[in-house]
Amino acid sequence: MNNIQKDLSYAEGLANSCKDLQGLELTIRSFDRCLLKNTANNIVFSDGNPNADLMLIGEAPGFEEDQSGIPFVGIAGQLLDKMLLAIGQNRNNTYITNMVFWRPPGNRKPTEEEISLCYPFVKKHIELINPKILILSGAVAAQSILKSNLGITRLRGNWSKISFLKNGEYTYIMPIFHPAYLLRSPEKKKETWEDLKSIKKKLTSTDI
């Protein structure tokens, strides 16, 4: 077993030992195998309502998030708030986190190793929140959770369901474009609006 495999096994063991959100956050704070921690100012764990039916996972913290310790607070976060508001959601009835908990230097894309080391904690995060619907915002979150090599353009707008719990209960999953991408490509907002309407419809349906 090489060092990366040992680190992954260690992360999985730590994550599996967590019984609640407080324990998960404390464990992540003390986790020292992901080197992003050494260059970040703050851990960015989560924001919103842990009892929400809707959970959203983004990619990674940016500069503003690293300063505040809160996910999605920059310009992209402001757009996300508007997107959620358009379907009757906000940070009081939605739970928000990221695939990695520390800002990559220069806001670069997190590496596969960084994502892999954080993944056990993200999976436990989902288990503890147990949302009815999980939004995967952007390619990194969608590909990581769905275990897919498809691009976000192919993944977005398509429902799937995964059981994160031992009892087999399903969580419905919808990938969407990341708000940072929408700021660069505003022509994609129309597609995202269709995705958001589908999420709202699912939230109010009786089959979840």
**For residue 206, is pLDDT > 70?**
no
Residues in the chain: 208
Write the pLDDT tens digit of every residue in 83-130: 999 999 999 999 999 999 999 999 999 999 999 999 999 999 999 999
**Residue 23 pLDDT class (50, 70, 90 cuts):** very high
Residue among 29, 27, 34, 46 at smallest CA distance from 8: 34
Cα distance between residue 74 and residue 43, in whole Å: 16
Task: Supply the pLDDT for residue 166.
Answer: 74
Enter the pTM of the model.
0.96
Distance CA 69, CA 63 (A): 10
Residue 161 near residue 133 (C-beta atoms within 8 A): no
pLDDT, tens only, 130-174? 999 999 999 999 999 999 999 999 999 999 999 988 777 899 999
Could you give the CA distance from residue 102 to residue 114 in angstroms, rounded to a whole number? 10
Look at residues 96, 108, 39 and name the one whose alpha carbon lies nearest to residue 72: 96
The average confidence (pLDDT) of the chain is: 96
Q: What's the rounded mean pLDDT across residues 18-38?
A: 97
- Residues 201, 100, 153, CA angle at the centre, nearest 5°? 45
Tokens for 22? 């407080």
What's the alpha-carbon Rg for the chain, to the nearest Å?
16
pLDDT of residue 1 exceeding 90, the answer is no
